[in-house]
Structure 1
Amino acid sequence: MESSLFFLVAVIAGGLFLLWMILYFIPIGLWFQALVSDVKISLLQLVLMRWRKVPPTIIVRAMIEGKKAGLELYRDLLEAHYLAGGHVAQVVHALVSASKANIDLTFQIATAVDLAGRDVFEAVQMSVNPKVINTPPVAAVAKDGIQLIAKARVTVRANIRQLVGGAGEETILARVGEGIVSSIGSAASHKEVLENPDSISKVVLSKGLDSGTAFEILSIDIADIDIGKNIGAELQTDQAEADLKIAQAKAEERRAMAVATEHEMKALAQEMRARVIEAEAEVPRAMAEAFRSGNLGIMDYYKMKNIEADTQMRESIAKPNDKKNNQK
């Protein structure tokens, strides 16, 4: 009794498993759903999708969505896109949205955008509803040396044709920032920029900053402008401090050269005094040599001494008169 009950349970379980396997590999319900939706796909193709590791549900639902939206989608192309790693549902959503918005988007472009890593459905939505990008604060200096800090709002629309290979939002922000810096830098005074901030938008828009990007710039609006530092005055102050340091260094150099020259002159004076003393020391030797050689007699020596004494006496007599003259 127990063995027959166990056998019955095993047969029922095996039958259920076999039925599940049959329904899994032969999705009759999905085939009937496609049939009533006027999507032509055979039951054999659904079975082969299972063997090709392609979920039939994704392909069938994509074809039904396209059929109801009036689009002609091909099973082979959808399978190929799925096997290539694409998002079939996102591509079909994007095609339906583009068709309703009268946007020229082909299946080849949509799949290429999807395989490039971009969200093609979001791109279509951005083409219908433009996106506003806020730029970070951009600092620039006018010709009068006053720094201005500007913030802008960039309204962009996705360019479907440029989504593959086109630059992203970072490039747009960088180009807009560069245009703001160039526009402010070319202004003669910061007051001109504050009075006419729309002049920045006109200059930036005229440069065609959206070329080569995945977006089309619709407008650039200056949201806020603040006055920053007086860069010109700071540069002049720094230059004056640098000139002062250079002048001080040159003055110190001249002072050091003057001190060195003074020391050289003192050394030269000492050298000349030494030479005089050396020359005076040679006089007694010369006189002694003259006595020995007979060129100088004793009377000549006394005459010379008398002349020296007479000279000293005259100098001593003349000095008091000089002092009196100086006092007067």
Structure 2
Amino acid sequence: MEISIIILGVVLVALLCVFFYYVPFFLWISARVSGVRISLLQLVLMRIRKVPASVIVRAMIEAHKAGLTGVTRDDLEAHYLAGGDVEKVVHALVSAAKANIDLGFKMATAIDLAGRDVFQAVQMSVNPKVIDTPPVTAVAKDGIQLIAKARVTVRANIRQLVGGAGEDTVLARVGEGIVSSIGSSESHKQVLENPDSISKLVLRKGLDSGTAFEILSIDIADIDIGKNIGAALQIDQAQADKNIAQAKAEERRAMAIALEQEMKAKAQEARAKVIEAEAELPKAMAAAFASGNLGIMDYYRMKNVQADTIMRETIAGPADEK
């Protein structure tokens, strides 16, 4: 008998747990006390659809207490089933209403489903955010390199959060504007004297168009002097000109050496022809002796003339060399 009572009690407890799981009675009472009209059947259907009824009810209570209109249970449930964050959306709507920011439920859910933090966006609209740019390097017209750092104060643009560009685009545009401003300056001293001229020029370009932010101000935090790029370029150009001149001189020297070798070859060829002609001389003399055109005395006189010529050349050789 006692065992039967225990089993019956366990069964009743299990049935009560199942009943209160599918029929969140206390959650329904909490909603009714808070002024939110929702039926037990709707809560049961949420359980069946795998929708956390506590999340939906808490969001409805928060919206009701904040005086938000147009936020219904069906809308919240549909947003949850679409993969959105119901609590952040309601928090963002409440914050926007308190700050007098025009933000509707459809816009908030669209921002949330786009992957952006809608609650953080509302906070950024109320409290602007300061973004520090990385060091931006630019060269003025006088060839001096400047390294600038800027601080960009931005505010979230609620209407551009869906499809608008993010922080990276803003930083890239600001960096491009700084480079353009410094590059158009005649001297780096002008930039150092008036750094606010960079901010004014960059702001006039409307860099926040098409982005999810509204640029409030651009402040130059620091400017440092880098290298003398103009002088370095001139040195590199001079070195390049020097290398070209050396290459041309080497080319002319090689051509002169080649011409010299060609002249030496021609001289050797002329000597060979002289030697060849001298080799024919004895034959001619023999032919002259045989024909009687050259006598023995003529031969001796020729030898004497040759000996005198050699003697004169020997005596006059050092003077000619000098």
The TM tier, using the shorter chain, reads over 0.9
1:317–1:116 CA distance, 2 compared to 1 (3 A): closer
Alignment of 1:15-34 (within 5 A): 15-34=12-31
User: Structure 1-normalised TM-score?
Assistant: 0.91
Aligned partners of 2:320, 2:65: CA distance in 1, in Å?
Answer: 134
Is 1:60–2:57 an aligned residue pair?
yes
Q: Which amino acid in structure 1 is aligned with residue 84 of structure 2?
A: G
SS at match of 2:155: strand
Q: Which amino acid in structure 2 is aligned with residue 5 of structure 1?
A: E
- Of the three residues 80, 83, 93, the one matched with 2:81 is 83
Moved more, 166-175 or 303-312: 303-312
Report the number of matched residues. Answer: 321
Q: Which amino acid in structure 2 is aligned with residue 109 of structure 1?
A: M
User: Structure 2-normalised TM-score?
Assistant: 0.92
Q: RMSD over aligned Cα, in angstroms?
A: 2.4
SS at match of 1:144: coil
Alignment of 1:32-181 (within 5 A): 32-72=29-69, 73-181=71-179
Q: Which amino acid in structure 1 is aligned with residue 100 of structure 2?
A: N
State the match for 1:235 in structure 2: 233
1:324–1:32 CA distance, 2 compared to 1 (3 A): closer
State the match for 1:202 in structure 2: 200
State the match for 1:297 in structure 2: 292
On the 8 A contact 2:140/2:183 being kept in 1, the answer is yes
State the match for 2:213 in structure 1: 215
SS at match of 1:255: helix
State the match for 1:6 in structure 2: 3
State the match for 2:191 in structure 1: 193
SS at match of 1:71: coil
Runs of 4+ in 1 over 4 A off after TM superposition: 298-301, 310-327
- Taking only the aligned residue pairs, the percentage that are identical comes to 69
1:90–1:322 CA distance, 2 compared to 1 (3 A): closer
Q: CA deviation at 1:62?
A: 0.9
Structure 2 unmatched runs, 5+? none
Deviations 1:127-168 (A, max 9, x none): 011000011111111111111110100000001111111111
1:289–1:307 CA distance, 2 compared to 1 (3 A): closer
On the 8 A contact 2:136/2:175 being kept in 1, the answer is yes
Deviations 1:38-61 (A, max 9, x none): 212111111100001111111111
1:112–1:312 CA distance, 2 compared to 1 (3 A): same
Structure 1 unmatched runs, 5+? none
